[in-house]
Each structure stands twice: as C-alpha cells, then as structure tokens.
Amino acid sequence: MSKSDELTRREFLAYGGGAAGMLALAAVYSRNVTRIDTDAISSSTHQCDVLVIGGGMAGLFAAVKAHDAGASVMMVSKGRLGSSGLTPFAKGFFVFDPATETMTLDEYTYTVSRSALGTNNPVYTRQTAEHSLARAAELREWGFFDSNLYNKAFRRPVDARSIPVIERVVITHLFKEGRRVAGAAGFRLDAEATVTFRAKSVILCTGAGAFKPNGFPVCDLTHDGTIMAYNIGAKVTGKEWNDGHIGRAKNPAATYDGWGDMFDQRPSTEGVGVRHDLGVEVNYLAYMQGSPIEMGPASSIDGEPFRPAEFADVQRPSEAPAGRERPQSGGGPGAGGGPPARKGDANGGGGPGLGGGAPGMGGDAMGGASAGMAIHKSEGLVPINDQCESNVPGLFAAGDALGSYMCGAIYTQVGSSLAGSAVQGAVAGEAAARYSQGVELQAVPEDVLTSIEGEILAPLRREAGYGPAWVTQTLQGIMIPNFVLYIKKESMLRAALAYIEELRDHHMPMLRAADMHELRLAHETANMIVSAEMKLKASIMRTESRCSHYRLDYPQMDDENWRAWINIDKDEQGQMRLEKQAFDAWPAA
C-alpha cells in the first residue's frame, strides 16, 4: 500500500467515522503503541518454602500460620495487604462461641446443610465454626476490629514475623516440576520487570472473581488463582453458582455509594444466623415481571427458585443486622419476598436498594452487581481433604479461592465469608508448612521459565491486537444479561458459549497491552474468558435448579441425579473436562 493510499484511508476513517469512531477504533483493534521498552524488561527470582499469593484475610492467616509452623514464607499480592480483593469491604466476622450459642457445632452444621440443600461440605462448614473464635481473638489482638481500614492491623503480625510482602505484583502463572508445584511467576505493576518465585508449596489466597461487574467492589478479582491452577492441572468447582447481588440503577458502578455507610464501618463479630440468601429469586422476579421489580411480602410467583420453608423468613433484623456482613448479605439483595432489613438509618438497609423500596437511596434497582461471582467459597479449587489441599501436590488454596462449599451453594451463615477465609488460611498455612518440611526445593529448567516469561509479556510484545478493555466489555455484554447468567436455559447458554469460544480462540491470543497496567488487564481478561467458558459449561451440565443455580428449562431440584458437585479440569489434550463429584465425598487425589 502506498503512502498516499494510507493517508486516504486514514482520512476516510477520520471524516467518515468521526471522532467517536476513531476513539472506538483506538480502543478495539489497533497498533500497539507501547509506552515502555519491551526489550529492557528486567527479572528477579525469589525463593521460599511457602509462597502465599494474595493479601486478604486468607492470605494473612496462611502466611502467619505457615511462618509459625516453621516455614520460610513470602507473600505476594496484586494489590496491598488488607486493601485488595473483597476483604477490605467485609465487615461481619462469624464467631461460633460455644459459651453463648444455644446450638451445638453439629446442630449448626446440620442447619447450614438444610439451608444449602445438601450443597455444603459439612467438614468445612464445621471447621469454620470450630476455629472462628480463635481467629477472631487473634484479629482482635492485632487491632483488626478498631478501624474500617485493615492494612495497619494486617501489617502488625506480618511485620512482627518479618514476613516479606511483595505488593503490586500480578502473578499470572504457576509452574510444576514433575507432578508437584514448584513456584509462580508474574510481573510488577510499578516497574518493567517480571518476578519468579521458587517455592516448595504455594497457597492460593487469590479470592474469587467476577466479570468486573458494576456495583460490587470485586473488579480486581478475575479468578486469577483458579485459572492459573486449572492451567497446571488442578480441579476447579462451583462455576454454575451465582451470587445474586443487585444494586442501584442510578450510578450502578459507584460501589461506595451503593453500599450506604458500610465501607465506613468497623468490622464486628456475628453469632449464628443461618439464612438462605443471594440466590437468584430477585433476578427471576425481574425476568418474569420486568424492571422495575415490585418487591413485597406477596411477591413470590410461580416457578421461582425453591426456598426451604424453614428459611423463608430471612429478614429478621436481629439475626442479620444490615450492613454488618460483607457486601453480600444484609438481608436485601437476593432476598426476594420481603422488604430489606433495616438498621435505623436510611442507608443501613441491606446493601444496594431493592427495587420499589431502595432504602434511603431512592430510585430503581438493577441486576448483576456481582455478575460472574459465585456464592463465596462455593467456587475455586477442589479440596481433596480438610486441609485445603488441591489435587496438585504442594498446591493449597484458602478462602474464596478454595471451592470448600463451606456455606454451600447459597449464602447461609452471616459473616462466614470472612471467618471462613481466616480459618481456612490458617489451616492451609499449617498444612503447607508441614508439606514443605518433607520436600526439597525443585530445580525448574531455565527454558520452562523463559517460556513462561514469554507468555507473561506476550501482550506487550504484540504489534497489534485487541484492547483488553474492549474484550472485557464484549464479554460483559455476552455474560451479564439476566437471561444468560441467572435465568438459564440450554439454548441461550449454548449461544453465549459460542461467543465465548470465539473470544477464547480468536481474541484471547491477541490481547495487546501498552504498559504494565494494560498487561494486567490483558491477563485478567483472559482469565475471565476461561472462567466464562467454565460457567457456561457447568451451567449447561447441571440439568436441575438448586440454590443459586436456576434453569428455566429444569426448574425442579433433581436429587436423584444431582446430589453432586461439578468439577472441571484440563484433560490430556488440553480440553475442558467436567465431572460429577457426589456431595459429601472427596475426589481422588
């Protein structure tokens, strides 16, 4: 093409497409004008016994307990200790105090199982309750309950133990040597540098993820841990479940404003209070009636998701003080069939306003605030035992990165998300320390590390490609609609899957990045694409409705075939493989 041709084409674009067209073009597919020298990227290597990835509640306890069990520990986080993921916004901490509770531990576990319709793993349900008091006591000692910001309290035990914390490093890859995990690699946000960690054991405390939705402070979580573990052969579960949070129609993306004064509150403890929350009832209502939704005591309509009668009355404010739970509770969102729980002031109601009665926030509701996220701790790595261990030797996960089914596939115990992360972090930390005592640090071949580094930096080195922001928006448009994500039917799931496979096959390999921030976006976008594929495939496979999974074409619960979880892993050909695992059973290691 001659120079004048090129000019003409440019002019055509400029005049024909107008400024908006040019902007859109710039954001979609265009030359990658990197703002950094991609040939001058440095690298560094660290080594330790136990590598903790993630700096939230699970990561804190994993690092502290692994250190106290004698391991040399390093922490690495995409953000800052106590200030990334969902931890900073979680305000309720469930404590089972035998001295004050009227239930026994077994009765509590059984109650959760009844609400969860069998989807919970009673071993993990019990474990959280059993250890919650001890973890809360430690947190109290560190000053956790004294501020609405957690960094200072989290730094206290970590600094006291001189545990190195490397912040603002995005981990994108895990690697193995033989069958065993041997470390992780990623890149720095603040420098043109890659970072490699060689470790005997890795604990993923990477949280869950979503599709960078609007209305829930989860936009930095994109299932990174799940996907990198899946890529080295770990089993993953829980992708068909949904967290059914709704938000405000006005300024839906403003999470702080949407949650009233909740982000301002200091955390506090919660006693036993088992609910059946944050399923898809409100999404079903919106699907059947349209928006704005009419919420009221008599709003239940035919065919709606099944709710056990025992847990029908979920708006007991005494049990669930609004705003004391992390964003996913508070009685409002997902609790179709009644007014939101209120707590004195107008903004104290259960999170973002419900349709027809947004507490103190006025205006209508919108759906999909947390789109792409499952019920906490129902999705993530499949544990092979009660020690948070995955099927990859040396690889552990805790908190929202572990598919422990601690509270099942529906939100049951108030405040158990934060408590569960603390308890599981501690369990995983000790288990990983024990594991690392029995193995040697493995030598990973240089060519393996070089190839991983190439994969990490690939989006920066592409001369042209797709902008990750545009691919993410396209994915959101495919996945987030109510009739795809929440109110499911096979034809629509298959249609969406066709789109997602297109993104996977054609766009994922062509994501571009101009700087380290965009490099992060590129990797996050790729993780969301794989997660979307998992979500759709698991949703197609589960031909029943239960808890937070609702199929319009299979509205009934099918106990005969579906008292089972769905596990996903990569087969020998690199294809996504789905299998059933019976409730109450452990998978083969």
Partner 1 sequence: MTIQHIGGCIGCRECVLSCPCDVIRMDEAVNKAVIAYPADCQICHLCRMYCPVDAITLSPEKTIPVVVSWG
Partner 2 sequence: MGVTVKPDLKKLIAIAALVVFVALPILFYALGDFPRRSVLKEAISLLTLVALSLMLGQFFLARSNMGVIELYNLRRIRTVHAVIANFAVSWLLLHPFLVVVPRFFEAGIEPWDAMTMMLTTYSSTGIALGLAAWVLLLVLTVTAIFRIRLIKALHTKYPRWRHFHGMLSIALTTFALLHAISLGRHTDTPMATMLIVVSVVGVAMLLRMYFPQRAGAPEPPSAPNVREQAR
Q: Which residues bind partner 2 (CB under 8 A)?
A: 147-149, 152, 261, 263-265
The 10 Å Cβ neighbour count of residue 185 is 25
357 forms part of the interface with partner 1 (CB under 8 A): no
The correct pick among 166, 191, 254, 552 for binding partner 1 (CB under 8 A) is: 254
517 forms part of the interface with partner 1 (CB under 8 A): yes
Q: How far is the CB of 160 from partner 2 (least distance, A)?
A: 18
Provide the angle, in degrees to the nearest 10, between the axes of the packed helices 490-502 and 468-479.
170
Q: How far is the CB of 583 from partner 2 (least distance, A)?
A: 41
In terms of Cα–Cα distance, which of 573, 575, 571, 465 is closest to 530?
A: 575
Residue 368's binding partner among partner 1, partner 2, none (Cβ under 5 to 8 angstroms by kind) is partner 1
486 forms part of the interface with partner 1 (CB under 8 A): yes
d(CA 124, CA 35): 47
Residue type, 111: T
Nearer to partner 2, 148 or 473 (CB): 148
Widest distance between CA atoms in the chain: 83
Q: How far is the CB of 142 from partner 2 (least distance, A)?
A: 15
Residue 265's binding partner among partner 1, partner 2, none (Cβ under 5 to 8 angstroms by kind) is partner 2
The correct pick among 54, 157, 247, 408 for binding partner 1 (CB under 8 A) is: 247
d(CA 458, CA 556): 46
Nearer to partner 1, 122 or 258 (CB): 258
Going by the DSSP 8-state scheme, the letter that residue 252 receives in this structure is T
> Peptide bond before 292: cis, by omega within 30 degrees of 0?
yes
287 forms part of the interface with partner 1 (CB under 8 A): yes
The correct pick among 139, 452, 521, 528 for binding partner 1 (CB under 8 A) is: 521
364 forms part of the interface with partner 1 (CB under 8 A): yes
Residue 453's binding partner among partner 2, partner 1, none (Cβ under 5 to 8 angstroms by kind) is none
Residue 256's binding partner among partner 1, partner 2, none (Cβ under 5 to 8 angstroms by kind) is partner 1
Residue 508, by phi and psi: left (phi above 0), alpha (psi -120 to 50) or beta? alpha
Q: Record the tokens describing residue 480, joined without a space.
A: 């987030």
Q: Record the tokens describing residue 352, joined without a space.
A: 């973002």
d(CA 130, CA 265): 26
Which parts of 132-191 interact with partner 1 (CB under 8 A)?
Answer: 148-149, 151, 167-168, 189
Nearer to partner 1, 12 or 256 (CB): 256
- Side-chain half-sphere CA neighbours of 184 within 13 A: 30
Q: DSSP string of 121-155?
A: -HHHHHHHHHHHHHHHHHHHHTTGGG-S--HHHHH
Residue 558's binding partner among partner 2, partner 1, none (Cβ under 5 to 8 angstroms by kind) is none
Q: Which residue has the tokens 């030797």?
A: 393
The correct pick among 22, 28, 219, 384 for binding partner 1 (CB under 8 A) is: 219
Nearer to partner 1, 233 or 459 (CB): 459
Nearer to partner 2, 327 or 425 (CB): 327
30 forms part of the interface with partner 1 (CB under 8 A): no
133 alpha-carbon distance from chain centroid: 25
Q: Which residue has the tokens 């009832």?
A: 281
By CB neighbour count within 10 A (0-12 exposed, 13-18 middle, 19+ buried), where does 570 fall? middle
Q: How far is the CB of 257 from partner 1 (least distance, A)?
A: 5
> Peptide bond before 468: cis, by omega within 30 degrees of 0?
no
d(CA 96, CA 495): 45
DSSP, collapsed to helix, strand or coil, labels residue 558 as: coil
Which parts of 57-96 interact with partner 1 (CB under 8 A)?
Answer: 79-80, 83-85, 88-89
231 forms part of the interface with partner 1 (CB under 8 A): no
The residues that touch partner 1, with contacts defined as CB under 8 A, are 79-80, 83-85, 88-89, 148-149, 151, 167-168, 189, 213-215, 217-220, 247, 249, 251-257, 263, 283, 286-287, 291, 364-369, 371, 469, 473, 476-477, 480-482, 485-486, 517, 520-521
